[in-house]
Amino acid sequence: DSVITLDPGYKNTGSCQSAITFLDGEKGILRYRGYSIEELAEKADFLEVAFLLIFGELPTKAQLAKFHSDIKAQSVVDEDIRKIVDAFPKSAHPMGVIASLTSALTAFNPSSVNVDSEEDMYKAICKILGKFPVLVAWTFRKKNGLPLDYGDKNLGYVENILKMMFKQPNEDYKMNPIVLNALDKLLILHADHEQNCSTSTVRIAGSSHVGLFASLSTGISALWGPLHGGANQAVLEMLEGINADGGDTDKYMSKAKDKEDPFRLMGFGHRVYKNFDPRAKIIKKAADEVLNDLGVEDKILEIAKALEKEALQDPYFVDRKLYPNVDFYSGIIYRAMGIPTDMFTVMFALGRLPGWIAQWREMRLNKEPIGRPRQVYIGETLRSFKTIEKR
């Protein structure tokens, strides 16, 4: 019998070979296809980064224009999807809605279910990159009682997302360049993070050769949890709670360190980073700039900075190498942009979409075998069946 190695949470198990994202958790390095995250966040736009992640190289002008136009050509969703959006209660969590809508897309796009050739993959990729922002905007608008509209094909990819979300009826939408720039940066920073929980979920689901959209909807569900993408919502709720409780950060630091108390300092710690999360550094700076540029004063930012300062000096956090992660400051920017707390993780999904797609495509092109972990059985040995009367 082969010996099964037990590795709960896959802390030391590589599930695949990948050429997409390089991460050095000890040094706090993150690169997409060899380009540093700092340089990409500064110089690239989100669609360029999406192309880079999915196809491996930065696009030329012509390649990017074609990619964008192929995506725009696919940005209409079936009118019946509107009925599905309408049928959700207003109180529904947007992550549940968006996961369901992504799954529902398979029903309206049967050709995207079996995508074995690179050509079919490309079509499915453009479809989801075109339709997903529409679903995000509709989810947001439905909650806000706004009519569900389509985008504006004359706009850039991210500009269009903002307009689709925020345009009020009978009003010219004025793009705020600060908000646009901040969203572009946030989406780039979230675009891939190698074999995290949601990405591994997408790869495992896709390894059964279920189609792209179905694989993505499993990733969206995995992202929702507060230990993963849902942390951005949890961070803001935590900061608001501390604020409402008088802003006593010491009290919450003690709670986070108390092993009897389930409270954790949300937005702190990471499975792989044992140093500063490089994304958090960029986002902290952006949060300062965005709030300043928009003229927003937010007590929550002060509380976040105080918590970070205390944690970075506290032996509990220092010994365990717990640093702020990507989610610690992102919610503060989303909030300043007018995005409600329960939409934060949806914004993360919007950013992660190209990463999931790239990882799914790589898995299929590598012809990886079906993902099927083993286990160490610790249950009962053979027992004989007792009829219900005798139990």
Which one from 45, 184, 277, 327 is the annotated catalytic residue? Answer: 327
**Total residues binding ligand CMC (CB under 6 A):** 20
Q: How far apart are CA 256 and CA 245, in angstroms?
A: 16
User: Interface mask (CB under 6 A) for ligand CMC, residues 164-203, using x and -?
Assistant: --------------------------------x-------
Alpha-carbon distance 350 to 128, whole Å? 11
Report whether 50 contacts 139 (CB < 8 A).
Answer: no
Nearest distance in Å: CB 31, ligand CMC: 17
227 is a contact residue toward ligand CMC (CB under 6 A) = yes
Beta carbon nearer to ligand CMC, 142 or 228: 228
Q: Residues 282, 185: contact at Cβ < 8 Å?
A: yes
Per CB under 6 A, the list member of 189, 231, 343, 350 interacting with ligand CMC is 231
Give the one residue of 23, 128, 205, 266 binding ligand CMC; rule: CB under 6 A: 266
Stretch 325-344 residues interacting with ligand CMC (CB under 6 A): 325-327
Q: Is 270 a catalytic residue?
A: yes
Torsion of CA 18, 67, 173, 289, to 10 degrees: 40
**CB closer to ligand CMC out of 23 and 326:** 326
Q: Which is nearer to ligand CMC, 104 or 343 (CB)?
A: 343
| Residue of 18, 15, 121, 19 lying closest to 371 (CA atoms) | 15
> Among residues 68, 93, 228, 270, which one is catalytic?
270
Binding mask 287-316 for ligand CMC (x = CB under 6 A): ------------------------------
For ligand CMC, which is the closer residue by CB, 63 or 254? Answer: 254
- In whole angstroms, give the CA distance from residue 125 to residue 108: 15
d(CA 35, CA 41): 10
Q: Catalytic: 327?
A: yes
Taking residue 243's Cβ as centre, other Cβ atoms within 10 Å add up to 15
Token pair for 254: 């003690």
Using CB under 6 A, which of 31, 255, 264, 305 touches ligand CMC? 264
Residue of closest CB approach to ligand CMC: 269
Shortest separation between residue 61's beta carbon and ligand CMC, angstroms: 33
* 25-33, 34-42, 132-140, 227-235 -> range binding ligand CMC (CB under 6 A): 227-235
The binder of ligand CMC chosen from 219, 229, 278, 351 (CB under 6 A):
229
Q: For 250-279, what is the HEC assignment?
A: HHHHHHHHCCCCCCCCCCECCCCCCCCCHH
CB-wise, 196 or 207, nearer to ligand CMC? 196
DSSP 11-72: TT------SSEEEETTTTEEEETTEEHHHHHHH--HHHHHHHHHHSSPPPHHHHHHHHHHHH
- What is residue 324's DSSP assignment? B
Using CB under 6 A as the binding rule, whether residue 320 contacts ligand CMC is answered as yes
| Nearest distance from C-beta of residue 241 to ligand CMC, angstroms | 15
Q: Rounded to 5 degrees, what angle do the CA atoms 254, 256, 262 make?
A: 125
Q: By CB under 6 A, name the one of 59, 267, 331, 354 that touches ligand CMC.
A: 267
Which range touches ligand CMC (CB under 6 A), out of 88-96, 223-231, 302-310, 379-387?
223-231
The residue from 265, 286, 336, 339 that contacts ligand CMC (CB under 6 A) is 265
Residue ranges with strand state E in 259-355: none
In angstroms, the Cα distances linking 387 to 259, 379, 382, 384 are 45, 21, 16, 10
d(CA 178, CA 187) in angstroms, rounded, equals 14
Query: Rule CB under 6 A: which residues touch ligand CMC?
Result: 9, 196, 227-229, 231, 256, 264-271, 320, 322, 325-327
User: Which residues are known catalytic residues?
Assistant: 270, 327
